[in-house]
Amino acid sequence: MEWKRGQVVRSKAGRDKDSFLAIVAVEPPCALVCDGKHRPLERPKRKKLLHLAPTAAILPEECLATNRKLRAALGEFRATRISGAAQGLRDVSQDAAAV
């Protein structure tokens, strides 16, 4: 897997586990990642590539210009994850009721 600037990744370990981040630079075996809120572009997090799960999405360069634009772009991924988790919870409760 080739890691690229602007690629959206999910954290697999650490305090930011399961959060979506954007890669701003790659320095194997690490990448510098930001989310625009807890980790602004001015203070990226150095994270091992082993602790990142890649997604197919790559943000355009203009989304990496400001923290506000980065938060907005990553917000779509957070909303998808939250709605997917809620959907999964509903399915489990429906299965339990059927038994």
pLDDT digits (tens, 9 = 90+) for 60-91: 999 999 999 999 999 988 887 666 555 444 43
- Residues linked to residue 33 through DSSP beta bridges, in sequence order: 23, 45
pLDDT: which is higher, 45 or 90: 45
Q: Are strands 45-48 and 7-11 parallel, antiparallel or unpaired?
A: unpaired
| pTM of the shown model | 0.79
Average pLDDT, the chain: 86
Q: What pLDDT shows up at residue 84? A: 57
Residue 14 has pLDDT above 80, yes or no: yes
CA–CA distance, 58 with 47 (Å, rounded to integer) = 18
pLDDT: which is higher, 13 or 96: 13
CA 43, 66, 11 angle in degrees (round to 5)?
55
